[in-house]
Amino acid sequence: MNLLYGQIVEIASEEGMRVGKIQVAGAFKKISLELLGEAQIGDRVLVCDGTALSKEEPVSPSPLSEHSNPTLQYSGTPVPQYSKTPPAGLQAPNEAPNEPGPRIF
């Protein structure tokens, strides 16, 4: 199965069948448009093995405010801060506080 998207640049009729020429990354391919009665020049279509299966509907971008997620907004709760030094009870007895341990290579 070979799936690809292409843009219709030409539509014709061959032997009673509706066919189109699509452009994919600079290359052209002849495909059947029989499954897409409403396809027109300029449409982007999904093609599988020489047959257009569906038309890609244009998506208009919506304003950013519609995409904001209210659960990600600041709630006023402070975020805990972490330090690199362990609590006093978790330090090794032979290490001084805030001192790096022996280097092992």
- pLDDT level of residue 1 (50, 70, 90 thresholds): confident
The DSSP code for 84 is S
- The more confidently predicted of residues 102 and 21 is 21
Domains located in the chain, CATH noted: 3-52 (2.30.30.140)
Higher confidence at residue 15 or residue 91? 15
pLDDT of 47 reads: 92
Q: CA geometry: angle at 42 spanning 39 and 43, to 5°?
A: 45
Closest CA relative to residue 22, chosen from 11, 8, 32, 36: 8
